[in-house]
Amino acid sequence: MEGPIPLFDRALIDARNARALRGPEPVADFLLRAAADDLLDRLAAVKRHFARAADIATPLPLLADRLAASGQVGDILRLERLAMPDADRRHPVVVGDEEMLPFRPASLDLAVSALTLHVANDLPGTLLQIRRALKPDGLFLATLPGGDTLVELRDALATAEADVTGGASPRVAPFGEIRVLGGLLQRAGFALPVVDQDRLTVRYATMFDLMRDLRAMGATNALVERSRRPLRRAVLMRAAGVYAERYADPDGRIRATFDLVWLSGWAPHESQQKPLRPGSARTRLADALGVPEMPTGEKPGG
Q: Per residue, what are the HEC states of 122-188?
A: CHHHHHHHHHHHEEEEEEEEEEEEECCCCHHHHHHHHHHHHHHHCCCCCCCCCCECHHHHHHHHHHC
Q: Beta strand 254-266 with 134-146: parallel, antiparallel or unpaired?
A: antiparallel
Question: For position 144, what pLDDT does the model report?
Answer: 94
User: Which residue did the predictor score with more confidence, 49 or 61?
Assistant: 49
Lowest mean pLDDT among 26-35, 148-157, 235-244, 255-264: 26-35
Tally Cβ neighbours within 10 Å of residue 199: 11
- As a whole-number percent, the residues of the chain with pLDDT over 70 amount to 85
In sequence order, what are the beta bridge partners of 128? none
Q: Residue 23 pLDDT more than 60?
A: yes
Strands of the chain (E only): list them. 50-56, 73-80, 93-95, 108-114, 134-146, 191-204, 254-266
Question: For position 1, what pLDDT does the model report?
Answer: 41
Q: Residue 35 pLDDT more than 80?
A: yes
**268-283 tens-digit pLDDT:** 988 877 655 655 556 6
User: Which residue did the predictor score with more confidence, 216 or 110?
Assistant: 110
What are phi and psi for residue 124, nearest 5 degrees? -55, -40
Please report whether residue 169 resides in a domain.
Answer: no
CATH number assigned to the domain comprising residue 137:
3.40.50.150
Please report whether residue 103 resides in a domain.
Answer: yes
Q: Residue 41 pLDDT more than 70?
A: yes
Please report whether residue 243 resides in a domain.
Answer: no
Please report whether residue 65 resides in a domain.
Answer: yes
DSSP-based three-state secondary structure for 108: strand
Banded pLDDT at 169 (limits 50, 70, 90): confident
Please report whether residue 130 resides in a domain.
Answer: yes
Is residue 173 within 8 A of residue 223, CB to CB? The reply is: yes
- pTM of the model as a whole: 0.83
Domains in the chain, number? 1
Please report whether residue 275 resides in a domain.
Answer: no
Question: For position 297, what pLDDT does the model report?
Answer: 56
Question: For position 230, what pLDDT does the model report?
Answer: 78
Please report whether residue 81 resides in a domain.
Answer: yes
Banded pLDDT at 92 (limits 50, 70, 90): confident
Question: For position 217, what pLDDT does the model report?
Answer: 86
Please report whether residue 196 resides in a domain.
Answer: yes
pLDDT mean over 151-156:
95
Residue 28, domain extent: 10-150+174-220+256-270
Banded pLDDT at 284 (limits 50, 70, 90): low
- Of 58, 19, 73, 45, residue with least CA distance to 220: 19
d(CA 255, CA 284): 51
Question: For position 109, what pLDDT does the model report?
Answer: 97
